[in-house]
Amino acid sequence: MTSRIIGTGSYTPAQIVTNDDLAKIVDTSDEWITGRTGIRERRIATEENTSHMAVEAARRALENAGMKPEELDLILVGTTSADHCFPSVACEVQGALGAVHASAFDISAACSGFLFAMNALQAFIQARMYRTGLVIGVDCLSKLVDWNDRSTCVLFGDGAGAAVIRAEETGIRHTVMKSDGAKWQVLSCISRTNGNFLNNKDPKLGYLYMDGQEVFKFAVKKVPECIHEVLDESQTEIESIKYFVLHQANYRIVESVAKRLKQPMSKFPMNMERYGNTSAATVPILLDELNREGKLESGDRIVLSGFGAGLTWGATLLEW
């Protein structure tokens, strides 16, 4: 028994912000951003919040799967930008969808969030606790970045992607998840704290911080490693993989991973040009685009891989 993706959906805000738009608020240029990252524009939430994007992506995934919300047993949301400390985004989604039979909670693994949530759902299904689940990767990092910091604000966008997953005989074949908490400082967003009546602390505003070069080095080393691991452990030839759907942070990272894996760039679809880095949402948005463009056929072998704050990273091998 394993589980299979039977429907995908995604949502990105309507508001497009181009590199030239950002050059009006920080000292940057389209040439720098495109050349260093491959990003040309991103979607930024104006009316939408995190749960709104998650609900829209979920509705589209359910429609794509031909399923009703009442049929869901579990909703897992990978996010680090929930609208509230509590309740979870997953509970908000459950309420908005009317998924009355589903349990719901969030998983915090930053840009690896969708992957970690999907793997958790797979484990619940394998353990026969649930049969049908919804997994969402959603982030609204535009509310966490410092819009005066050109080294980070140009990189991120907002969005959500979702997949409906059901117990089946084929589908997810192997998963690898890793963490290195000793390096948590290289990519972080310190929580807003109010202090308490004893410690007299002032409220602090938390902005996203990233040591870009450290994260870059980590990604180009660890992503190929965990992809090799997931393939070796499942005794799968790398040549049999149709697509490597990687976290969309920087086209140079994707190119470097492709080179290290000795695989052609045609196996590495990319869309960061249009959306930037949407954190937990990059992998499911890209997967949804491939699905809707008819590029995924039954039996195709696909590797999904995410990496990000924590540090966290991982890979999942699945058959479509």
Active site residues: 111, 247, 277
Binding-residue pattern over the window 258 to 297 for ligand UT7, x denoting contact by CB under 6 A = -------------------x-x------------------
CB-nearer residue toward ligand UT7: 2 or 29: 29
Amino acid 254 reads V
CA distance 237 to 229: 12
According to the binding rule CB under 6 A, does residue 250 interact with ligand UT7? yes
Q: Is 212 in the site for ligand UT7 (CB under 6 A)?
A: yes
Rounded CA separation 307/314 (Å): 7
Tell me if 81 contacts ligand UT7 by CB under 6 A.
no
Q: Of 306, 160, 146, 316, which is closest to residue 230 (Cα–Cα)?
A: 316
Distances from the Cα of 27 to the Cα of 22, 24, 39, 139, angstroms: 8, 8, 16, 25
Minimum distance between the CB of residue 14 and ligand UT7, rounded to whole angstroms? 23
Cβ-based neighbour number of residue 49 at 10 Å: 17
Rounded distance, CA 174 to CA 68, Å?
Answer: 28
- Closest separation between CB of residue 252 and ligand UT7, Å? 7
Q: Kindly state the smallest distance separating residue 165's Cβ from ligand UT7, in Å.
A: 24
List binders of ligand UT7 among 109-128 (CB under 6 A): 111
**Cα 276 to chain centroid, rounded:** 12
Contacting positions for ligand UT7 (CB under 6 A): 28, 32-33, 36-37, 111, 150-151, 154, 187, 212-213, 215-216, 219, 249-250, 253, 277, 279, 308
